[in-house]
Structure 1
Amino acid sequence: MTRKTLSLHIKFIISLALLTIFSWYFMMATHELGHAIGALITGGKEIDVTFPLLGFSRTDVLTNPHPIIERWLGPTLGCLIPLLILLTISFTSLKRHIQLQTSFAYITGFCFIANGTYIGLGWIDRIGDTGDLLRHGSPTWHLIFFGIFTFTIGLYIWHLAIESLRKPNDLSKTTKHIAQPTRA
């Protein structure tokens, strides 16, 4: 392995680590935003969102007339908000920025996988939102289904991102063709 190749590998690992850390905080932010929106639209009062630098975020609602809606909107919007941002990037002029699109595909996939794992397996120990969802009447199979569904979508988003990196860019093919003179 050459020094240049090693340097590229190290830069890639550092970039991936930083992107994963950002993905974690972005996932917690959109998840808690979902809870806050759920509490607001259902008439919740005294909403307290805790977002620690280290550890897990949480949203507490003192007066919560519809806790099951508020609890489900956390993981649901925690997936849909990143997906809407990714779709906006993908279907606007921002799609030309392949690094932005690929990075946000990674973030979106991470959000789906993290929320899916949390809800899909959390029922076992009734941790956090899953304990609340079960206490308020959500059947266990809903949590398992949500987990499998979102986890699978997250993996698929990652797959699409990797495939897009493997394909040559249409723009680069066009410019390469234009740059080469034709022979008469």
Structure 2
Amino acid sequence: MTRQVATFGVLLLVSWVVMLTTHELGHIVGGWLGGAVLLDYELMPWRLPHSLHSPDPHPRLTLWAGPLLGVLVPTLLAFAIGHPYARFIADFCLLANGTYLALAWLSNDRLLDTPRMLAAGTSPALILLFCAVTIPLGYFRFRNDCIRVLSRDPSAPQANEATGSRSPPDQTHS
């Protein structure tokens, strides 16, 4: 079990760094595509990553590019790589980006993405839709990934990807 816990810890750390980096790079790319001027940025994961654009003629593009690319880039890479650890990281990013927007909305901290999205004219329904898709889907997928990583027995019951329900191990006999 020690090996599984160590693997789990390393995967969480890598997932955190990938999520922060892809999310913030999404803001930088979105700003660039929208013609914003990047004044400052921080990508180091041991600090709070941020990017500052001014002027930003299309702030909604800049703001939405963070969570969208923060989900899409790891998901596409996981699909291309095809390894369960890559999927673990992608599913973490899916859950984390949705959860971040939801918690930022609740905090109402004017420096976080969701209050800035609302101030830029984003419909609350669009933010709610993003959270309603990413949080439950991310939860069920990431939960299944965690079970797989922490399982001592590879034939242990795995959560169903779509519903999160557990199924018994394969009962085929020779």
Give the structure-2-normalised TM-score: 0.77
Q: Deviations over 1:13-48 (max 9, x none)?
A: 121111101110110110011111101111011242
CA contact (8 A) 1:39 1:47 kept: no
Identity within the alignment, % = 29
**In structure 2, distance between residues paired with 1:156 and 1:17:** 19
| TM-superposed deviation, 1:160 | 5.9
- 1:63 partner SS: coil
- 2:84 partner SS: helix
Matches within 5 A, 1:11-90: 11-90=3-82
Q: Cα RMSD between the aligned structures? A: 2.1
Matches within 5 A, 1:1-184: 9-90=1-82, 101-127=83-109, 128-158=112-142, 161=145, 166=155
Give the structure-1-normalised TM-score: 0.73
CA contact (8 A) 1:19 1:103 kept: yes
**In structure 2, distance between residues paired with 1:59 and 1:166:** 45
Q: Could you list the runs of 5+ residues in structure 2 that have no partner in the other structure?
A: 157-174
Amino acid in the other structure paired with 2:142: W
Amino acid in the other structure paired with 2:42: T
Which stretches of structure 1, 4 residues or longer, exceed 4 Å deviation after superposition? 159-167
- 2:46 partner SS: coil
Quote the residue 1:181 is aligned against. none
- Whichever of the two has the greater Rg, that structure is 1
Quote the residue 1:3 is aligned against. none
Structure (1 or 2) with the greater helix fraction = 1
Q: Count residues in correspondence.
A: 149
**In structure 1, distance between residues paired with 2:115 and 2:46:** 22
Q: Deviations over 1:57-100 (max 9, x none)?
A: 1111122110011100100100000010011123xxxxxxxxxx
